[in-house]
Structure 1
Amino acid sequence: MAGVQAVQVSRAAAALPRLRVRVPAVVTPTLLLFGCSLALGGFAAWLSLLHVASGWVTVPLHVAAMVGMFVVLHECVHHAAGRLTWVNDVVGRLAMPFVSAFGAFAPARFLHLAQHRDGVEGHLTPWNVRGPAWQLPLRWMLTDLWHVAAYLRRTAERPQWEVAESLSMLALVPGTIVAVVATGHGWELVLVYLLPQRIALALSAWWFDWFPRRLPAGARSYHTVHNRYPNLPFYRYPQAWLAERDLAPAPAPRPAAPEVFHALVVTAVRPLTGCAVEVAFAVPPHLAEEFRFTPGQHVVLRADIGGEQVAHPYAITSCPEEPELRVAIKRLPGGRLSTYATTELRPGDRVEVRPPDGQFSVHPSPQGEHLVAIAAGVGIAPLLPMLAHALRTSPKHRATLLYVNRSGADTLFADELTALARRFEGRLRIEHFRTDERDPDLRPPRPPRPFDSIGSALAICYERYHAGGLDAKRLRALLACRLHPAKVDEWLVCAPRELAGVVHALLAEHHVPESAIHSELFWSAEAA
């Protein structure tokens, strides 16, 4: 089919239960920890600077406050302080100076996520576990300097704004320290800031890097849960332990459709583009149960062409509550069945159809979820009913569609998508990517006029158009902000192998569990 292969690519990871935890817009426990750590640090500074208590009392208080800030920073690095990206960015940057006098938030985030992404054992920092035992405490106290050096070696591949942030913090905080020392308050600075920070770094490095290597295999610990669910807020870890303890066996796959074809009458053949049609079939009442389907499934069509039977699967484009069964068919060069269907098939003809089959489906939680669908070309065929059905069945569901086509003339179901976006009033957002930059949809219908930019900002628009395809750079930018995995519950992918491979690789980089990814690949050749 010039469309979708009838094999589901992703599967639920049996060893890792899917935690359906809806992270709030702002995670209150993380902000409380930030506030308590800040208050504790301020109280300890007051005790120290006014000589109310000795360093034996104030330094441990400062250390406790800075360890708390480390936890907050770590949560923000993993976007676990809430779904709002700006909350993670702001709180992470506020916490950073308490954790390190030399580091910056964005570079620290990049390095830490790279350790997760590269599969470093236990996401350990190499500096913290190498060398003789007597060196380790000193290494732990200087671990932030190792991170700064590691980042500076990679500045050529990083965005300019991120490098600028790193260099600014590298100059600002140490410069402030030099200025304080020059005023004669060096000893106070050591007691209030430098010494507690080094001790807090050493404790954090021991806890996060050295200690995990001493745990027995299979031990239930923070490290085990964090490695499996990096974006899970720290206070939800007990829920993860319980989920793993109570993990039920994976559900059995749906039984395959019987190898029985039924002759169905074609009721309509509707052109979608110059080379694609939507074919509707009437399902007799006595076959209604056999042809019951779940959005995302497909049927196999079979026809006698030139004295030879040719069969091929096509995605169902109708919704379960609709009376007709419809499929989308795009003509391919040399495709006998697709050519026949797009050029010769007429209403009243009979075509042999095998009952619905396939594992490509999604069952959103009744509490409401954010679905992100990524399609290219005829890959929209199974996704259209999946999105429409999910949005129709629950007013709490939201969806974002990233749809790649050559131009508007090649876009299947363009009017239906626009109607859906308007019907659900913002619960469906569509981002169109057009590889033909001459496409009229990419250009305004008239020259720009004064106040157009203001009008565009105030206008309600559920569809946006972008010149060019959906490449790794664009997708990575979306994952870093609007479509951060912490804001998305399910991912639906129906695209050619090249694009699907990029999507899967980037989702893996962001630690999206396989059970949250539902994928179907294109089949570019007709079945003989």
Structure 2
Amino acid sequence: MPNGTQHSISRPLSTRVLPDPGEPTPRLARPTLVVFFTALAAFGIGTWVAWADVAPTWVTITVNTVACFAMFTVVHDASHHSISRNRFVNSVLGRVSMLFVSSAISFVSFCYIHIEHHRYANEEDNDPDTFATHGAWWQLPARWALLDVAYVPFYLRRLRTRPVSEVTETMALFVSTVAGLAWAVASGNIWMVATVYFIPQRISILFLGWWFDWLPHHGLEATQRENRYRATRIRVGMEWLLTPAMFSQNYHLVHHLHPSVPFYRYIATWRRNEDQYLNRDVAIGTYYGVRLTTDEFRNRRGLPRSTDAEPRPDFHRIPVAVVENVTIDSVAITFDIPPELQENFRYFPGQHVPVQATIDGRRVRRNYSICTTDGESRMQIAVKEIPGGAFSTYANHSLRPGDILELASPTGQFGYRADSTTTQRYVAFAAGSGITPIMSVIADTLGTEQDSRFTLIYGNRTVDSTMFRAEIDSLQLRYDGRLEVVHVLSREAVVSDGALSGRIDAPKLDTWLEGALAPGTVDRWFVCGPIALVKTICDTLARYGVDSEHVNSEVFHAPANVVEAQSNEFRSASVQFRLRGSEYSAELSPGETLLDVALAQRSDTPYACMGGACGTCKAKVSSGTVSMDCNYALRRSEVDAGYVLACQAHPTSAEVRIDFDG
């Protein structure tokens, strides 16, 4: 962007916020009930077969093993209250099912132990299930088969912290189990009891430890508290077999992200949010044990690459390949991305790239939209000179090919994912250097959607000040009949080629929206330019009933004197913040922002524009209160959820806690 800042409101996905599973807890999970009663019936049949001695022993062991294995899914869902919204139903089904799964622990103690696993997944000292995922390979089968036995010392170490009723129920089950064993031995029925119950139970727990713990968690270094998207994985391939055999635990990641979703809805939840999960770099493996990156997964499934990449703050020294004048006061800069960094700088139409330089001994960071129209064959930005602008002046007058700039990976959500199977109509409004992200969006959309149409209304001062005039003309020729361009020139005395005089203002908008650009005929709108223009256009579209979800807007400059804060009274405060899994504390002085204090502790704190427009420094307020000077990046729903722009946020309480990770 020409002045280095951006505001994207078209796709409000945050890479930090947990996606909506779209699966509320059912009133009654009928598939889970089917599993329960089918397993109960199977166990009864297997027991009768043994008692009546009508089939070999292995038949009973096999049938009852499958029944015990299936019963764990009922226990599992009951422990998360996902069988029913009625807690009593979960409690009863959980207790009954647990009798078939393990005689070592009670359902209520299992609930506590299992939730500890969810809280501390992969932490050696706190996660009880690491017993099944850690250890030498030759120990693993025994560890899997004894997983519930290993729960006992884990539980006993925490016994004093547990409720009396829970401990009493657990002890009662233990006493009953010992009494049952004593009766079996005394009556000479120990082999029958072992055949019907204990042997199937051990075998089923072996498979549970293997399929529910080891397969989803082994070899992953991240813990649940560090990165919940990489503390467990999904297994892909052979879903036709693994999904029913594992009761959907091949998508165990979905369960850890959304524990209240019943097992039979894991895959539906994954499909609903697949792109959002992949954007968060989730852990993925094949059924035969090969780890996949999210890009490899997309390629295997034929999925398009995302336009919602996670902002990455790491900067790389990149040489400048070409600097060429676009107009008298703007240049296009093409970068020579080294082959080993190509993956870091993959970008999507409409994204922007953070740029750093040291100018006169001072570090300067700006954001600029990527303006190429030929896919990813090169990376180019355009910089229009702003009077007094440190970087824009340097770029227009001093930057030369071979010079080194520091670039971070592309970010941004302004773009819209084109779909080759659809035909839509798009309208874009741009002013000045606001054309830079829109050019690549137009080229990508019309190149992908063969029958879609685009109208561009482009405002400038004069013909000579029009950035990328030749490139726009070339796009018109390439997409003849599908791309219409209307130039609006504010300082041109005589205009031609269909250009209009004046500015893009409310009267012109009324004329267009009541005529050729009637909202009912347009599927999506793109708006990029100065704040005042973007606000005018968005307000006018809203007045004509256009849903804001269909408007992609971007502000290319957020002046410091534009303030939307509710309060200008600053105070000192104690600030705690979380960044990439670590906690920090600091004292904030009056006038400092939350970003100021975070940068003092961690220089890699994510930020870009410092003007409240790009959203890179978004964080969630966990406790305390703050006010923002201005906000051009967050939707109202995000603000209501507690998110702030750290670069604009000042404490209004004595203590504040924020989370850059969550």
Higher relative contact order (CA 8 A, sep 6+): 1
TM-score, normalised by the number of residues in structure 1: 0.49
TM-score, normalised by the number of residues in structure 2: 0.40
